[in-house]
Amino acid sequence: LPRMQSSGSKPCPCPSFKLREVASMYFTMIAVFLVILVVALQGSAPRGSDFPYKVPLDPQGLLELSWNVSYPKEVVHFQLLIRDLRFGLLFGMSDRGEFENADLAVLWSDGHNSYFGDAWSDAQGQLHMDSQQDYQLLGARRAPEGLYLLFRRAFSTCDPKDYLIEDGTVHLIYGILEKPVHSVQAINVSALHRGLQRVQLLKPNITVPELPSDVKTMEITAPNVVIPSQETTYWCYMTELPDDFPKHHIIMYEPVITAGNEALVHHMEVFQCTAEFDSFPHYNGPCDSKMKPDRLNYCRHVLAAWAMGAQAFYYPKEAGLAFGGPGSSRYLRLEIHYHNPLVFKGRHDSSGIRLYYTATLRRYDAGIMELGLVYTPVMAIPPGEDAFILRGYCTDKCTRLALPAAGIRIFASQLHTHLAGRKVVTVLSRDGRERQVVNADGHYSPHFQEIRMLKEIVAVFPGDELITTCTYNTEDRSRATVGGFGILEEMCVNYVHYYPQTQLELCKSAVDPGYLHRYFNLVNRFNDEEVCTCPQVSVPQQFFSVPWNAFNRDVLKSLYGFAPISMHCNKSSAIRFP
């Protein structure tokens, strides 16, 4: 294999775009079109330990991506396994998984020779060779299982056509070339077999704590279920801990995926049921079935959560998640999201989560706290909005009341909205100034929610504020979207995992309902169309009847920005701190 020349990644600050275009045109001409002689190559597969993160890209498992991250060099190394190479492949990144305005690495063949290059697509999806080549080919080799393609990409390239790799969700896209093409420009993106996969590319570089000698494991897995032959299924399975199971600490968990189903198991969660009920019915079936007992809705306390592409989850050495013992329910609910777009039939699955736990309790119990907005219809998003912002507050008064003098330590976070959510960020504020980002996802997707270990532990002290901001897109909706539990209603939540556990389980806010009532009165006065603000009409109905002109939108935004808030500073069972 001849070594591929590359212009390399440019350090910032960059020269002007025109100068850079001229300077790199020479590299484009000599580097991009060098032939990659891969078909005849033989070789062993690269070591898996070199690429610790792995995810299938397509539902059939023909494309498998592995990668590693170098924070000192700010570079991601990719290894792409192509099991059935035809005439090439597109791989890249875009804002939300679209093939327009995408940043792409392209491997293509004209039927005689193969080529590799860095390309981009415009707003119409037309491909163009990039004048700055930032996907750098490192090698290609044949192995019995397929072709391995190795390349690298800097986090930031200073190229306006390139995607900025940052913390949070990254939408990876792929397309398979079924016919030879003579140039990148000749590729018709709309005619490709293509798809997307969501991952967290920039995994935190965390030292894994050593497991104690008395560690035990427990597998919470589906009982050989037949995956329904439909695109989306949420499967629920009830199980229980042994009788008189004493208190233990969960210190780690990892996925257990049935071989062959790696591309179908999208995400999984294990919930513990409330201790209010002595027993829960057994159930094994779709979560949305009318046959599912209502009592299963009381199994909502998250013990473990995994999403495709995630690795094992470790608790800090000082803390563990308590389960078992007095005041703890024996009943657990496993929920698995199967994503089966090719509608495979007859696939059996016994996937789930393996818990690692110990009877030697660590110094602290870990806790989970809800931050953000209360589930209430008073927080609403008008229709037709491309980036509407709502904020939820955990105020200084609440943290002063509820947190110990030494504070708490947040080590992990799970962001959550429903279908309109596009961005979520939580910041820590102290003495009126933002001090630290707790967790941020600028490309958030409601279809990819995982508990993420933070790169660094965040200390929160009495008097601190935690502000959670959610950005929504309702361009495809014709009426207001209100807050609530329904999938077409909205949420804005950050479940933070912390230690030591306190009584504070929920620290959230919403706009003062009295000020919202004033808003509806104002809309009545300034609009011809009648908005019924009678007490007997629900808040959602009032929002649905608002004529959404520019004035009503702007006033609602202003109201959410300045109106007093109703604060929920809650212990368990919704009991508020005084």
DSSP string, 443-462: T--TT----EEEEEEEEE-T
Pairing of strands 364-365, 319-323: parallel
Cα distances (angstroms) measured from residue 405 to each of 479, 500, 572: 46, 12, 21
Contact (Cβ atoms closer than 8 angstroms) between residue 273 and residue 332: yes
Angstrom distance (rounded) from CA 221 to CA 347: 16
SS3 of 557, please?
helix
Angstrom distance (rounded) from CA 199 to CA 416: 16
Contact (Cβ atoms closer than 8 angstroms) between residue 494 and residue 424: yes
Residue whose C-alpha is closest to residue 354's, from 368, 370, 334, 337 = 334
For residue 101, give the H/E element and its range.
Answer: none
Tokens 């004048």 -> residue: 131
Q: Which residues contact 138 (CB under 8 A, 6 or more apart)?
A: 4, 77, 150, 151, 152
Tokens 């004035």 -> residue: 551
- Name the token pair of 482: 């209100």
The end-to-end CA distance of the chain, in Å, is: 71
pLDDT score of 477: 96
pLDDT score of 41: 39
Angstrom distance (rounded) from CA 182 to CA 171: 28
Tokens 């495979």 -> residue: 344
Query: DSSP alpha helices (H): ranges in 10-118?
Result: 17-27
pLDDT score of 466: 98
The conformational region for residue 534 under phi > 0 = left, psi -120 to 50 = alpha, else beta, is beta
Q: What is the pTM of this model?
A: 0.84
- Name the token pair of 321: 């998640």
Tokens 């008073």 -> residue: 378
For 301-329, b where at least 16 C-beta lie within 10 A, e where not — what string? bebbbbbbbbbebbbbeebbbbbbeeebb
Long-range contacts of 186-195 (CB under 8 A, 24+ apart): 187/90, 187/106, 187/108, 187/127, 189/90, 189/99, 189/121, 189/125, 189/126, 189/127, 190/99, 190/125, 192/90, 194/90, 194/99, 195/57, 195/58, 195/59, 195/341
Angstrom distance (rounded) from CA 555 to CA 19: 46
Written in H, E and C, the secondary structure of 509-528 is: EEECHHHHHHHHHHHHHHCC
Contact (Cβ atoms closer than 8 angstroms) between residue 390 and residue 561: no
Task: Give just the sign of the alpha carbon dihedral 345, 346, 351, 352.
Answer: positive
Structural domains in the chain, CATH included, are 53-199 (2.60.40.1210), 206-362 (2.60.120.310), 368-515+567-577 (2.60.120.230), 516-566 (no CATH)
- For the CA atoms of 553, 556, 558, 564, the dihedral, rounded to the nearest 10 degrees, stands at -170
Task: Give just the sign of the alpha carbon dihedral 531, 533, 536, 540.
Answer: positive
Please list the ranges in the chain whose pLDDT falls under 50. Answer: 1-46
Angstrom distance (rounded) from CA 203 to CA 128: 31
Active-site positions read 234, 416
Cis ω for the linkage preceding 500 (within 30 of 0): yes
Burial, 185: exposed, middle or buried (Cβ in 10 Å; 0-12, 13-18, 19+)? exposed
Residue whose C-alpha is closest to residue 443's, from 91, 156, 165, 101 = 165
CB atoms < 10 A from the CB of 89, how many?
23
CA 257 to chain centroid:
19
Residues in the chain: 578
Angstrom distance (rounded) from CA 455 to CA 204: 5
Tokens 């690269």 -> residue: 46
Written in H, E and C, the secondary structure of 247-299 is: CEEEEEEEEECCCCCCCCEEEEEEEEECCCCCCCCCCEEECCCCCCCHHHHHE
Q: At what angle do helices 550-562 and 513-526 cross, to 10 degrees?
A: 160
Strand order, beta sheet including 53-56 = 53-56, 63-70, 75-82, 146-154, 136-143
